[in-house]
Chains A and B, each alone.
Chain A
Amino acid sequence: MHHTTYVRAGSTDDAVARMADGGQLLAGGMTLIPTMKQRLASPETLVDLAGCGLAGIEDEGDSIRIGAMTRHADVAGSDLVQTAVPALAALAGGIGDRQVRNRGTIGGSVANNDPSACYPAAVLGLGGTVHTNKRDIAADDFFTGMFETALDEDEMITAVSFPKTGKAAYVKFPNPASRYAMVGVFVASGADGTRLAVTGAGSDGVFRHADMEAALDASFSADSLDGIAVDADEMISDIHASGDYRAHLVREIAKRAVAAC
Chain B
Amino acid sequence: MTVVFKKTKGLTDAPFSYCPGCTHGIIHRLVAECLEELDLLDHSVAIASVGCSVMSYEYFNCDAIQAAHGRAPAVATGVKRVHPEKIVFTYQGDGDLASIGTAEIVQAAHRGENITVIFVNNAIYGMTGGQMAPTTLPNQVTTTSPRGRDVSKTGEPIKMSELMATIPGATYIERVMTADPLSVRKAKRAIKKAFQYQKENKGFSMIEVLSSCNIGWGLSPNDALQYIKNEMASYFPLGVYKDKGV
Do A and B make up one complex?
no
Question: Which residues of B are in contact with A by a Cβ distance under 8 Å?
Answer: none
> Which residues of A come within 8 Å of B, CB atoms?
none
